Amino acid sequence: MKNVVFLASLLLSTAALADGKPNVVILATGGTIAGAGAGVANSATYQAAKVPVDKLIAGVPELASLAQVRGEQVFQIASESFTDAHLVTLGKRVAALARQPDVDGIVITHGTDTLEESAFFLNLVLKTDKPVVLVGSMRPGTAMSADGMLNLYNAVAVAAAKDARAKGVLVTLNDEIHTGRDVSKAANLRTDAFKSPWGPLGMIVEGKTYWFRSPAKRHTTASEFDIDQLDRLAPVEIAYGAGNASPTAYKAFAEGGARAVIHAGTGNGSVSSAVVPTLQALRGQGVQIIRSSRVVGGGFVLRNAEQPDDKYDWVVAHDLNPQKARILAAVALTRTGDTKALQRMFMEY
């Protein structure tokens, strides 16, 4: 079997050299981009993760004009069912492919619900400057005005582009290129669903990339984290702040073994007076308390504003939303439990 895989890789590399096209591997994980509805009018009602990767590729024959493309089915799930174990498995497979000299770029098809979390995780732990691009769709391929075909075409165009190297893990939807660090799903029924609070990095037009800014935060080859040194992530949970807040969820998460709780606070990561004593007590028991904000669209949590973080030995998530803060905490806590070190990481990544 290994000889067959080696031969296939050798043939792919030889073919690519012959026509000068880069080699791009598409790793499929499921999601809406692989979904199917009962009819063409079903754009929001459908079953995700139905179409295998070979059919996705065959459905966009224009990919051959961009690169030598081959596919691999890693998972076939809806992304809301992604676990930390899935993240580690995916990360290790991407890292292995990135080390191959006959692989120039990698595309990952992914459900949009947790695409931003997977993108940020990979941005933290991959040690490669090759383009790694996550892509999804907001409508299944069976729907009128389905967006998956063009999104996939654009993703391969970015993965094949030399100017996409060393920019970290990227996300492409709706003709835009985003950094996996910033981007989040901001709508659930429109094709322009993905937004970055600080704006996209660039655009793709007719298969060509146009860049307008570069990521400022640490990522990939500049990261202190490495997927090859990770077998599991630390357990981290998110508790949502709201009016009439109670400490029930925080206590339950701690009792369930969470090493950190992300507080998805109102405004500037504010914490209800009814919850503060519980968070102080949990920190005294060794649970990290990380203040994030549930606010959508920009801004960041200021340290020692709203709450005396230095006094309580808490961490602020800076501009990371709660779900991205969970990812960074889950990775960071595999290396350190020191609050100051964690705060440094939240400022640098």
Per DSSP, the residues of 172-227 read: EETTEEEETTT-EE--SSSTT-EE-TT--SEEEETTEEEE-----S--GGG-S--G
Cβ neighbours of 142 (radius 10 Å):
20
81 is in an annotated binding site: no
C-alpha 267/C-alpha 3 separation (Å) is 57
113 is in an annotated binding site: yes
172 is in an annotated binding site: no
DSSP 301: P
Order of strands, sheet of 288-293, starting from the edge strand that comes earlier in the sequence: 236-240, 260-265, 288-293, 315-316
- Give the chain's end-to-end CA distance (angstroms, integer): 40
Q: Which of 112, 128, 172, 278 is catalytic?
A: 112
Cβ neighbours of 242 (radius 10 Å):
11
112 belongs to the catalytic site: yes
Cβ neighbours of 174 (radius 10 Å):
20
Q: In this structure, what is the dihedral angle of CA atoms 236, 240, 246, 250, given to the nearest 10 degrees?
A: 0
32 belongs to the catalytic site: yes
Q: Which of 32, 109, 128, 142 is catalytic?
A: 32
Q: Is 114 exposed, middle or buried (0-12, 13-18, 19+ CB in 10 A)?
A: buried
In sequence order, the 6+-apart residues with CB closer than 8 A to the CB of 149 are 59, 60, 141
The catalytic residues are 32, 112
Residues flagged as binding site for substrate: 79, 112-113
